[in-house]
Amino acid sequence: MTPSIHAAAQTADFSQDTWWIWTLKAVFILVFLILNVILALWVERRALARMQTRLGPNRVGPLGFGQAFADALKLLIKEDFWLAGADKLIYFLSPVIAATCAFTVMAVIPMGPAVSIFGHETPLQMADSAVAVLFVLAVAALGEYGLVLGGWSAHSTLPFYGSVRGATQMISYELALGLSLVTVFLTSGTMSTSGIVDSQRGVWNAVVLFPAFVIYLVSMFGETNRLPFDLPEAEGEIVAGHTTEYSSMKFAWFYLSEYVNMLNVSMVATTVFLGGWRAGPVTTWVFSLWDGDPNTGWLPMLWFFGKTWAFMFFFVWTRGSLLRMRYDHFMKLGWKVLIPVSLAWLVAVTLIQGVTTFAELSRQQLFIGIGVAFLVAMVVVLLIGDRTPPEGEEPRDGEFIRPDEEFDAFAGGFPVPPLPGQSLPPSPRAKRVTAKEADRD
């Protein structure tokens, strides 16, 4: 084991922490997440309005900043109803599970180095473990039960559709997300969040493990149910999915957990791929001009929050740019693209680790070169292997339906969209218009 990996395997030192330091950190995490959700709501509304040539909120408070507080007050005083046919206990616990798990993830995220708080040396992190990233994945998976049980417990059709979509989405995209993180474990030699940050003293993992970074970026949209992957609550199809039958604060807990999860995946991405609280090479060089260190004291919290909000803005930017995917295309992307690609990259990283162990080669240059070649190969395979057959060519079995095949949208008792190659029959209104035009001629 090399010295760098050995150093990275060490977890943060909490030996001087006391009960009031733990309490102070816990309160800070709660306040930080709630205030950032309020800020995220305002930024999202204003940014989307600018992207769509609208004004956005501009009445309540300066620049409309008080609109989020007005919405929170509205949810607090709104009538709270209970469904007569719902499973009362699970119906109530579901939003609590979702919110509790969302607020728990940040406990193991390092926000900065060790600092002095009233004479006690303590890291800017509430807790750490040798398997801290696995804890994050476990809590995130447990939070999905809130979504699934919330839709199921309402005993209503559209919420149940939303819960089923949420379950299948979590299985496919969390698997790809987890596989992308395994390569980080291999190169860092640890699953501790502080250890992973420490292993990125030189080059960030986003550069060395670029394919894994891309897979994580795509998967985090599916993990948080955000456009273009917001299928569990697609308002154009199932009203609001699992939250359809919720109101007042029970709905607010679901709403809050969604935005907290956006912050969570952004902070995990910052920690795992962008060096965490460590400043970038340009910032480090600027500080070195006057013998300063940007990675000491309280200043690294600024770098951490800046990187986190870069991902948050990426969420908003994507929502204002892309359309919602069709559900079968969405699942195909997860199972036929992301998971195979992440598995192939995991094998490539394992081979690179084995080669560099027994040969004197630059690991970083080897990773970057193979990563670029890997991405080019995947793009070529996708472009060649997923093309529609030319006109006159026989459709491939299992992927395209023959155009002459009769399609009944209500064959199963409820409307379903046509598959590729199928087309909907003309509507009754279109038939009447065609008949009138024929009579007129």
Three-state DSSP state, 116: strand
| Weakest mean pLDDT among 93-102, 173-182, 351-360 | 351-360
Residue 7 has pLDDT above 50, yes or no: no
Residue identified by tokens 């800020």 is: 39
CA atoms within 13 A on the CB side of 216: 26
Percent of the chain with pLDDT over 70: 83
Backbone phi, then psi, for 21, in 5-degree steps? -70, -40
Residue from 279, 134, 104 nearest 197 by CA = 279
Average pLDDT, the chain: 80
Instruction: Please tell me the distance from the alpha carbon of residue 343 to that of residue 201, in angstroms, as a whole number.
Output: 27
Tens-place pLDDT, residues 344-400: 888 888 887 777 776 665 656 666 666 666 667 666 666 665 555 555 445 444 444
Structure tokens at 124: 């800017």
pLDDT category at 334 given cuts 50, 70, 90 is confident
Residue from 126, 115, 116, 119 nearest 33 by CA = 126
Instruction: Please tell me the distance from the alpha carbon of residue 330 to that of residue 344, in angstroms, as a whole number.
Output: 20
Q: Give the DSSP letter of residue 243.
A: G
> 103-130 burial string, b = 16+ CB within 10 Å, else e?
bbbbbbbbbbbbeebeeeebbbbbbbee
pLDDT category at 5 given cuts 50, 70, 90 is very low
CA atoms within 13 A on the CB side of 328: 7
Q: Using an 8 Å Cβ cutoff, are 374 and 391 in contact?
A: no
Instruction: Please tell me the distance from the alpha carbon of residue 346 to that of residue 394, in angstroms, as a whole number.
Output: 36
pLDDT at 397: 46
Domain spans of the chain? Answer: 3-282+295-327
Cis bond upstream, residue 228 (ω within 30): yes
Q: What DSSP element (H or E) covers 383?
A: helix 363-385
Three-state DSSP state, 115: strand
Structure tokens at 433: 């218009």
Instruction: Please tell me the distance from the alpha carbon of residue 153 to that of residue 85, in angstroms, as a whole number.
Output: 9
Q: Using an 8 Å Cβ cutoff, are 224 and 261 in contact?
A: yes
Dihedral of CA atoms 314, 254, 27, 14 in degrees, nearest 10, equals: -70
Write the single-letter amino acid at 112.
G
Most distant pair of Cα atoms in the chain: their distance: 93
Q: What DSSP element (H or E) covers 285?
A: helix 281-288
Average of per-residue pLDDT across 131-137: 89
Residue 312 has pLDDT above 50, yes or no: yes
| Weakest mean pLDDT among 160-169, 183-192, 336-345, 357-366 | 357-366
Structure tokens at 58: 């501009």
Polymer length in residues for the chain: 441
How many CB atoms neighbour CB 156 within 10 A? 18
Tens-place pLDDT, residues 252-287: 888 888 899 999 999 999 999 998 888 887 777 788
Tens-place pLDDT, residues 17-56: 888 888 999 999 999 999 999 899 888 888 988 888 888 8
- Helices (H) and strands (E) counted in the chain, each on its own, are 17, 2
Residue identified by tokens 């940014």 is: 47
More reliable by pLDDT, 191 or 357? 191
pLDDT category at 305 given cuts 50, 70, 90 is very high
More reliable by pLDDT, 85 or 218? 218
Residue 122 has pLDDT above 70, yes or no: yes
Structure tokens at 210: 């670029």
Structure tokens at 377: 């190969």
pLDDT at 266: 93
How many CB atoms neighbour CB 268 within 10 A? 26
Residue 164 has pLDDT above 70, yes or no: yes
pLDDT at 127: 86
Average of per-residue pLDDT across 144-160: 83
Residues 6+ apart with CB under 8 A from 24: 117
Structure tokens at 20: 């009031």
pLDDT at 374: 67
pLDDT at 1: 34
More reliable by pLDDT, 18 or 237? 18
> Is the alpha carbon torsion for 224, 226, 232, 233 positive or negative?
positive
Q: Give the DSSP letter of residue 36.
A: H
pLDDT at 406: 63
CA distances, 31 to each of 37, 77, 149, 342 (Å): 10, 22, 28, 36
